[in-house]
Amino acid sequence: MTTKENIILQASSLFLKKGYKQTSLNEIAENVNITKGGIYHYFKDKHELFLEMVHYFKLTFENLFLEMENESSLENLLKNYFKHVEILELKLVEDLKLSNEDIKRYSQLQSRFFLDAQVYGPKDIDFQLYNVKGRRMYDILKKKVEEAKIGGEILKDLDVEETCIEAMAIFDGYIVLKRLSLIENAYYYGNRSIGRFWNRIKTE
């Protein structure tokens, strides 16, 4: 990892945990084990560093969406979704050095990040696109459901919008259960729910 990459990840970790206004360049420099002046060698100010964090999250979520789009069928998308999310979460935990307490508070931290991004981030990005709960995921699901209906993979009389909403409700519900530590093995049970959902909508 280069010094520049390390600065971006350390800054991203602090921005996520503390918020933009509460994070100082001195803290970032200390975490990277360089001087504050060393940061200015790569970035002109804290705001530019925050834009790099926005870009990091954008690419991270974009990778999840690409995995969904590249699934060969609706069945594979549904049954592999939690696996893709878990890989994404492990990457975030490793890259940003999140503690168990941070993970429990991740929904709160993520919400604050999106608020900060709307205030301090670039104006040409719709941040909700990169929220796993957002419109992008719905659009990908809708396309897969429509293709599955045309291909005879699922029942012809299914309502596309209702099917997408139900799938997203299962996805989001078990993600929340995991983050709140309300049940053990949340994604295991999430996959079981998806399996029952798939058995109900597939053709015989």
The answer to whether the beta carbons of residues 170 and 137 sit under 8 Å apart is no
Q: At what angle do helices 160-179 and 106-120 cross, to 10 degrees?
A: 110
User: Is the model's pLDDT at 189 over the cut of 60?
Assistant: yes
| Closest of 15, 124, 127 to residue 61, by C-alpha | 127
Looking at every residue in the chain, the average pLDDT score rounds to 86
Residue 75 pLDDT exceeds 80: yes
What pLDDT was estimated at residue 129?
A: 43
Question: What residue spans define the domains of the chain?
Answer: 53-201
pLDDT of residue 124: 58
Average pLDDT over residues 44-61: 85
pTM tops 0.85, yes or no: no
Instruction: Examine the pLDDT at 132 and tell me if it is beyond 60.
Output: no
Residue 95 binned pLDDT confidence (cut-offs 50, 70, 90): confident
Give me the pLDDT at residue 200, please.
96
pLDDT in tens, 76-85: 999 999 999 8
List CB contacts of 140: < 8 A, sequence separation 6 or more.
65, 68, 69, 77
**Tokens 């990840």 map to which residue?**
9
pLDDT of 184: 78
DSSP 81: H
Q: What is the mean pLDDT of residues 100-104?
A: 78
For position 130, what pLDDT does the model report? 46
Nearest to 191 by CA among 172, 171, 176: 171
CB 6 within 8 A of CB 49: no
Q: What is the mean pLDDT of residues 42-56?
A: 87
Contact between 121 and 105 (Cβ < 8 Å): no
Residue-level pLDDT at 88? 84
Going by pLDDT thresholds of 50, 70 and 90, the confidence category of residue 104 is confident
Residue 152 has pLDDT above 90, yes or no: yes
